[in-house]
Chain A
Amino acid sequence: MMRAVFAFLLAAFCVTSAAYADYGPEKLSDPKLEARAVALQRSFRCLVCQGESLDESNAQLAGDLRRLIRARILAGDSDRQITDFLVSRYGDVILMKPPLEPGTYILWFGPLLILVAGGAIAGVIVYRARLRLRGSP
């Protein structure tokens, strides 16, 4: 039950926390750097909400991380360094796109294998249906 209450509070927080988020000094004046920051914040997940990226989230933590990303960009970090930093701090869970590693092979290749297998079966079905049609006058 506690877990359920907690989950609900988290979900509610995503919506209500707009009351605390600080949008103010988020934007970088250099449009090129700002574009980099926006691209980066789209690739990270808001850790408070389900399914939203840092870009979309109204949660306070998301706002803090958006500013952190910009501070890092101004400090001269590369995208790679920023990503590595956030992953070392929060784990893979912060990446919107799961990394390709042995633990996610099934996730990435499972659907493709099924597509190939399905395609092969479909091929056999069409082949047989064609034989049957041509076999019967």
Chain B
Amino acid sequence: MTGELGQFALCLALALSLVQAGAGLAGARIDAAQARSVASGAALGFFVFVALAFGALTYAFVTSDFSVADVYQNSHTLKPLIYKITGVWGNHEGSMLLWVLVLGIYSALMTFAERGGARLTSAALGVQGLLACAFVLFILFTSDPFQRIDPMPLEGQGLNPLLQDPGLAMHPPMLYLGYVGLSATFAYAAAALITGDADRSWARAARPYMLVAWIALTLGITLGSWWAYYVLGWGGFWFWDPVENAALMPWLVATALLHSALATERTGAFRTWSLLLAIAAFSLSLIGTFLVRSGVLASVHAFANDPERGLVILVMLGIAIGSALLLFAWRAPKLESGAEFEIASRETTLLLNNLLLCFAVTVVFFGTLYPLALQSLTGERISVGAPYFAMLFAPAFVVLLILVPFGPRLAWRKDDLKQAARTLVPAAGAALVGAVIVLAFATPRSLAAAGAFALAIWVIGASVIDLRTRLTRHTLSTSGLASVLAHAGLGITLIGIAATTVWKSQSIDVIGPGQSLRVANYELRLDSVEPVSGPNYQAMRANIEVLKDGRDIGTITPEKRSYPAEGQAISDTAIRTTGFSDLYVALGDERGGGRWSVRAFVNPLAPFIWFGGALMALGGLTSLWGRVRVRFARLAPAE
């Protein structure tokens, strides 16, 4: 019964999305205030009904109602409750429903917007309504999550064990919060083009959504990378896998947009450019959804995909991106560019930031899609792996990181470059000292690592200097603090990446009880391997004594788990972290006579990668806090 209710709720949501689209867009031409209130009501109703549908599906999962095909294919009675719930979005149908739910949340929030005026808000709600309508149609016609099976199976097929993990419980909702958050930014940009009010107000109105989307993407990517690191058992954190790239591209464009919209909002500079970036950011989100959902990519992410659905998504993608770009080409030339600034100004640094970030996006875009295009056009197969990205991506980021400290130090419109550079001398000195120390003491000696440390210290040092200046002058605003935190986070992530890449130690061997494996200054002594059982899996657990420089520091227990319901085995790695260095051990397979293959890594400073990501997100939150607080207090925004 709940399944049918869910489906009915979705149909009602579809009708409301049509009302929202029609009324909202009409508001751009006629009686905006009234149109806005109609569209707002429809948007709130849409949210309520999609939430009901999502609730119905969640209920079916929690109660293991296997008469629903989606539940049968992706759940199992023995699965712990949390993975029954996360199983709702661990499959195609449910994850599309989550997509639409998040879209509904954003539309509902937009109805409360006060900035931007009735015409802009109404048109933005209309654009959201169109998107909602397209996606609900897609769900109802190609991906019905409530389809029944008769007769009802007694037991479900279970969920891919890789997805049964707390890190992954939060990863997809975070990414969707980011992907779909960019739809709100897109809606405001499209609304600005439709109404012709493309001055600063849209950038100001869209700012909170931009920030939420960026924070969510940052956290989603950080969580995903952390998950890959501790679950997949090969000790790496980023593989330039097409699906990872699909999340990285919108993040890079959203980062560029956050910076350029800052100038648009503040001085009116880069108006058309910010509009184009807003369109590009959401287009890349859609492309990401297409890549993951269509089955063109084979990857751990591409669970239960289907090429026919891919074609439908591709058509939707074409219509959405194509019409937005046409709208842009038609309206943008009429917008006047009013930017006035000197070479030495914050605007110039933001422009360079955008140039380099867009180049980075292009590299990821070409590297991800070119092999697909080449294969479908000529049948020729090539791989684009880490070396390609490193060769093109790294130089752009080096230049970007050299420039980062100048941005916050320079004033809008016009400033003294020498003066700004002088305040940064201590950071440059610290960077130089850091590089020398790394070259002198760290083995193996690496010029690349020294350079990366110098860059990271330069960026972090500049953040500290910036913070100090603002504190002593009593000009520390939330947006200033946000830039300090986010830029410092970038530096910390860079340290983690450089150290792990250059100084990683690894060791693989087959050992029996009493024998040991050496990695860096650790000795791992295998005591025993014993069977244990979890709620829905059987595992072999190795008890390994860890000796650091000959001193016993405890036991770690990597496992090899097999999930009978799903017929799959995964390795549960054991990680012992000091916060500065990770000892990472994965249990391989049995080699007869109680001997097991064991793979161990020491990843120095690896945790910094995720600390840095979290710090960047904290920076975003600080900025968002400033916006929300200002809105509630009805004060003029600071700085």
Cross-chain contact of B387 among A14, A23, A43 (Cβ < 8 A): A43
- Indicate whether B530 reaches chain A with its CB closer than 8 angstroms: no
* Chain B positions within 8 Å of A18 at CB level: 233, 560, 571, 586, 588-589, 597
Given contacts A92-B381, A107-B384, contact A52 B370 (CB under 8 A): no
* Chain B positions within 8 Å of A107 at CB level: 366-367, 370, 374, 384, 388
Q: How far, in Å, is A21 (CB) from chain B's closest CB?
A: 7
A132 & B302 in contact (Cβ 8 Å cutoff)? no
A53 & B386 in contact (Cβ 8 Å cutoff)? yes
* Chain B positions within 8 Å of A97 at CB level: 385, 387-388, 391
Q: How far, in Å, is B245 (CB) from chain A's closest CB?
A: 9
Which one, A67-75, A76-84, A98-106, is touching chain B?
Answer: A98-106
A110 & B362 in contact (Cβ 8 Å cutoff)? yes
Q: How far, in Å, is B591 (CB) from chain A's closest CB?
A: 8
A95 & B383 in contact (Cβ 8 Å cutoff)? yes
Residue on A nearest B586 in the bound complex, by CB: A18
A129 & B339 in contact (Cβ 8 Å cutoff)? yes
A106 & B366 in contact (Cβ 8 Å cutoff)? yes
A115 to B357, CA, bound (A): 10
A12 & B568 in contact (Cβ 8 Å cutoff)? yes
Per-position 1/0 for B279-317, Cβ under 8 A of A: 000000000000000010111101111110000000000
* Chain B positions within 8 Å of A33 at CB level: none
A106 to B369, CA, bound (A): 12
Given contacts A110-B366, A129-B347, contact A96 B387 (CB under 8 A): yes
Residue on B nearest A52 in the bound complex, by CB: B239
A93 to B380, CA, bound (A): 9
Per-position 1/0 for A117-137, Cβ under 8 A of B: 011001001101110110010
* Chain A positions within 8 Å of B383 at CB level: 45, 92-96, 98
B351 & A93 in contact (Cβ 8 Å cutoff)? no
* Chain B positions within 8 Å of A3 at CB level: 295, 307
Per-position 1/0 for B340-369, Cβ under 8 A of A: 111100011001100100110011001100
- Indicate whether B508 reaches chain A with its CB closer than 8 angstroms: yes
* Chain B positions within 8 Å of A31 at CB level: none
B387 & A118 in contact (Cβ 8 Å cutoff)? no
Per-position 1/0 for B375-408, Cβ under 8 A of A: 0001011111111100110001000000000000
B358 & A118 in contact (Cβ 8 Å cutoff)? yes
B348 & A126 in contact (Cβ 8 Å cutoff)? yes
A98 & B382 in contact (Cβ 8 Å cutoff)? yes
Per-position 1/0 for B538-576, Cβ under 8 A of A: 000000000000000000000010000000111100000
Q: How far, in Å, is B99 (CB) from chain A's closest CB?
A: 19
A133 & B569 in contact (Cβ 8 Å cutoff)? no
* Chain A positions within 8 Å of B4 at CB level: none
- Indicate whether B60 reaches chain A with its CB closer than 8 angstroms: no
A4 & B295 in contact (Cβ 8 Å cutoff)? yes
Residue on B nearest A133 in the bound complex, by CB: B340
A114 & B359 in contact (Cβ 8 Å cutoff)? yes
* Chain A positions within 8 Å of B302 at CB level: 4, 7-8, 11
B589 & A20 in contact (Cβ 8 Å cutoff)? yes
A93 & B242 in contact (Cβ 8 Å cutoff)? no
Given contacts A15-B233, A23-B509, A23-B510, contact A129 B341 (CB under 8 A): yes
- Indicate whether B236 reaches chain A with its CB closer than 8 angstroms: yes
* Chain A positions within 8 Å of B241 at CB level: 50-51
Q: How far, in Å, is B161 (CB) from chain A's closest CB?
A: 9
Cross-chain contact of B234 among A16, A52, A128 (Cβ < 8 A): A52
A20 to B590, CA, bound (A): 9
Interface of A (DSSP majority class): helix
A50 & B304 in contact (Cβ 8 Å cutoff)? no
A112 to B298, CA, bound (A): 28
A5 to B86, CA, bound (A): 22
- Indicate whether B230 reaches chain A with its CB closer than 8 angstroms: no
* Chain A positions within 8 Å of B351 at CB level: 122, 125-126
* Chain A positions within 8 Å of B464 at CB level: none
* Chain B positions within 8 Å of A50 at CB level: 239, 241-242, 297-299
* Chain B positions within 8 Å of A125 at CB level: 270, 339, 351
Q: How far, in Å, is A101 (CB) from chain B's closest CB?
A: 9
B298 & A130 in contact (Cβ 8 Å cutoff)? no
* Chain A positions within 8 Å of B560 at CB level: 18-19
B382 & A93 in contact (Cβ 8 Å cutoff)? yes
Q: How far, in Å, is A134 (CB) from chain B's closest CB?
A: 8
* Chain B positions within 8 Å of A11 at CB level: 298-300, 302
Given contacts A92-B382, A122-B351, contact A21 B588 (CB under 8 A): yes
Given contacts A4-B307, A15-B233, contact A103 B359 (CB under 8 A): no
A98 & B359 in contact (Cβ 8 Å cutoff)? no
Q: How far, in Å, is A22 (CB) from chain B's closest CB?
A: 8
Per-position 1/0 for A36-50, Cβ under 8 A of B: 000000010100001
Cross-chain contact of A104 among B236, B305, B347, B382 (Cβ < 8 A): B382
A18 to B241, CA, bound (A): 20
Residue on A nearest B298 in the bound complex, by CB: A7
A21 to B591, CA, bound (A): 10
A15 to B228, CA, bound (A): 11
B382 & A96 in contact (Cβ 8 Å cutoff)? no
Residue on A nearest B589 in the bound complex, by CB: A19
B162 & A15 in contact (Cβ 8 Å cutoff)? yes
Residue on A nearest B301 in the bound complex, by CB: A11
Q: How far, in Å, is B443 (CB) from chain A's closest CB?
A: 15
* Chain A positions within 8 Å of B235 at CB level: 56
* Chain A positions within 8 Å of B307 at CB level: 3-4
* Chain A positions within 8 Å of B362 at CB level: 110-111, 114-115
A12 to B566, CA, bound (A): 11
* Chain A positions within 8 Å of B384 at CB level: 98, 107
- Indicate whether B413 reaches chain A with its CB closer than 8 angstroms: yes
Q: How far, in Å, is A16 (CB) from chain B's closest CB?
A: 5
Given contacts A92-B382, A93-B381, A129-B269, contact A58 B234 (CB under 8 A): yes
Jot down 29 A-B pairs with beta carbons below 8 A, ordered by A. Answer: A3-B307, A4-B304, A11-B299, A12-B160, A15-B232, A15-B570, A16-B569, A23-B588, A24-B591, A24-B597, A50-B241, A51-B240, A51-B242, A51-B299, A56-B236, A95-B385, A96-B386, A96-B388, A103-B380, A103-B382, A106-B366, A107-B366, A111-B362, A114-B358, A114-B362, A125-B339, A126-B351, A129-B269, A136-B340
5 shortest A-B CB distances, which residue pairs? A96-B385, A7-B298, A97-B387, A51-B241, A133-B340
